[in-house]
Amino acid sequence: MNYYVLPGIGIHGGIKVGFQFAQLLSEAGAPIAVATPGGLAPSWFRCGQPVVDRQNILANAGPSDTLVFSLPHDYPMLKATGARLIFHCQGTDPLIDPVLHDRDVTILSCWEQAARYARTVAGREAIDVGISIPDIFFYDGAAKDPCLVAFMPRRGATIAERAMKHVRHLRYVPIDNDTEEVCAATMKRSGFFLATAVGEWFGLPALEAMAAGCVVVSVPVVAMEHLRDGDTACVVEPARLPTVLDDISGEGAGLRRAALRDRGAAMASRYRTALHRRKLESAMRAGLKDALSWN
Amino acid sequence: MELSVVIPSYGLTALLRTCVLHVQSGLAGALPGRTAIVVVDNGSAMPYQADDLATPDVRILRLDRRHSFAAACNRGASAVPAARYLFLNNDVFLHPNAMAEMLEIARHETVGILGTRLVLPDNTIQHCGVRFDAGERGPYHHAHGRPSSSVSRATTFPQAVTGAALMIDHGTFAALRGFDETFPFGYEDVDLCLRARQMGVRIGCGQKWDSLHLESTSDRRPDRHKASRRLFFERWRGRYSIDGDEGA
């Protein structure tokens, strides 16, 4: 049996990405459940994955099982079970280095920068399994308010506050502790999205906002796979974000805004779940299938 | 034995007879031979007689007092072990091709539990898979009340299917120790599916054929249903994933 072991079910991108990956594995026929504390399921996004108690799995998993994980802190505990391990690399903090050096652990990468990191640090070729945006985020023609700016205050609130003070012709709507449905609906009716989380590994919310038809103004992230300054988004250092937002929201910037929206939407479409499913098929052929348990 | 069809039933002999005739018609097309039909007489006031069912090929397992749906199903499965079981309500009239479709899905997909589309007499959906909503709503029948013709015919893989027509392989059923008999009436099917999924078992639901379900013709005792619902939520609240609102 396969278990995707997670540390919690709170509102964090890594939790959703873990469930999403487990769901795709399940659709591919792999027997898999998600192990969470207390066997609790998240209620802030949609999925259909079964959940089991993490503690129970840690106590009972053995060599016939495969444990998938993304948090390096879990590595010693999971290693001690004797189960086969798969590391679903969602970030490249040096804390993951011991995991990458363990040749018994299969390494999966969600994006190119993570694959490069595994290659550089440990000489390992990660299996590319990709990442995707739930279909609910894709713009469906909902009425948009071109002066509405969505942002997530949980990380980078001060950056957003500076923008609010500096750019007063726009209105701001926080997305905070909301379900995925509310988040998607807010993005779909907003003209802009401010991505203010400094040090983000991938920047999934910015990509979701591109899918929702927002002009994205973002601080840099580590992966920088979908954030291309002047092409799919405005990528700026935090200090300059208010100025750039003021500029791109100005009367004379209509064509630039339309171009950013179009190219952002095109970029987001590369992260459709249907494409992700196909990528996973390739990953299965590239070794993922052998790393999973099929009992 | 390849397939045992287990039909728990209480009274309503004419209804049961029609149900059995539909099963026989389906079995003839799907699995000629190596099958059994077991009617679990769940303490009917007038015990069923072989003649009542107008066919000699049905085994009647008499329980002298009324048990829960779960217990009746478990007794029926124990009586005639088979590679697969199809648990069926006596108010379900299977489409002749429905069983063949379920077996076909089981052959080609890695699924251990199967359901099939059920419609109400007005041809609206009664069941085509169970979805889960947040809060008090919990599990519910997807697309319930919508015209069957407006709902996709593609096979689905929901989190649960109804026990009104539920096929399961012997290995999975044995590993789960059958239906949980502490459920008085209702939700034992969803509980079974959720427990199976925790073991990695996938659930499938055939959608090609409409079988008729008269829904709760045989049991209209809300007290038992409420007790089952309470038990279900005590056990599962917060422990199933949320599919979200249908159509959203």
Beta bridge partners of A140: none
How far is A262 from A257, CA to CA, in rounded Å? 9
Q: Which chain A residues are within 8 Å of B242, Cβ to Cβ?
A: 41-43, 45-47
Q: Dmax of chain B from CA atoms?
A: 51
- Nearest partner of A206 among A127, A130, A141, A260, judged by Cα: A260
pLDDT score, position A222: 82
The H or E element containing residue A279 is helix A273-283
pLDDT score, position B23: 94
Quote the tokens at residue A225: 């796979």
How far is B99 from B70, CA to CA, in rounded Å? 22
What is the three-class DSSP state of B225? helix
Low-confidence ranges of chain B (pLDDT < 70): 216-222, 244-248
- Nearest partner of A146 among A187, A204, A189, judged by Cα: A189
Quote the tokens at residue A18: 């873990």
| φ/ψ (deg, to 5) at B152 | -50, 145
B222 versus A221: the higher-pLDDT residue is A221
Query: How many other CB atoms are found less than 10 A from the CB of residue B211?
Result: 24
pLDDT score, position B247: 47
pLDDT score, position A120: 96
How far is B110 from A27, CA to CA, in rounded Å? 9
Mean pLDDT value of segment A86-106? 95
Q: What percent of chain A has pLDDT over 70?
A: 100
A–B CB contacts, 8 A cutoff, strictly below: 61
For chain A, the helix, strand and coil percentages under 3-state DSSP, each to the nearest 5 = 45, 20, 35
Q: Do A43 and B134 touch (CB under 8 A)?
A: yes
pLDDT score, position B217: 65
Q: Do B243 and A48 touch (CB under 8 A)?
A: yes
Q: What is the DSSP string of A119-161?
A: HHHH---PEE----B-GGGS--S---EEEEEEE-TTTTHHHHH
Query: How many other CB atoms are found less than 10 A from the CB of residue B229?
Result: 18
* A246 has pLDDT over 80: yes
Mean pLDDT value of segment A120-130? 96
Mean pLDDT value of segment A30-35? 96
The H or E element containing residue B104 is helix B98-108
Domains and CATH numbers, chain A: 2-132+273-291 (3.40.50.2000), 135-269 (3.40.50.2000)
What digits encode the pLDDT tens for the residues A157-214?
999 999 999 999 999 999 998 999 999 999 999 999 999 998 888 889 999 999 999 9
What digits encode the pLDDT tens for the residues A3-27?
999 999 999 989 999 999 999 999 9
Enter the CATH code of domain B3-236: 3.90.550.10
Give all strands of the β-sheet with A171-174 in edge-to-edge order.
Answer: A171-174, A145-151, A190-195, A215-218, A234-235
Q: Which chain B residues are within 8 Å of A40, Cβ to Cβ?
A: 238-239
Residue of A nearest to B195 (CA): A50
Question: Using CB atoms, which residue from B110, B201, B241 is nearest to A47?
Answer: B241
For strands A234-235 and A215-218, give the pairing: parallel
B136 interface with A at CB cutoff 8 Å: no
Half-sphere exposure of B55 (CA within 13 A, CB side): 20
Quote the tokens at residue A244: 């750039």
Quote the tokens at residue B191: 């509980």
pLDDT score, position A135: 93
What digits encode the pLDDT tens for the residues A98-113?
999 999 999 999 999 9
pLDDT score, position B245: 56
* A68 has pLDDT over 60: yes
pLDDT score, position B248: 40
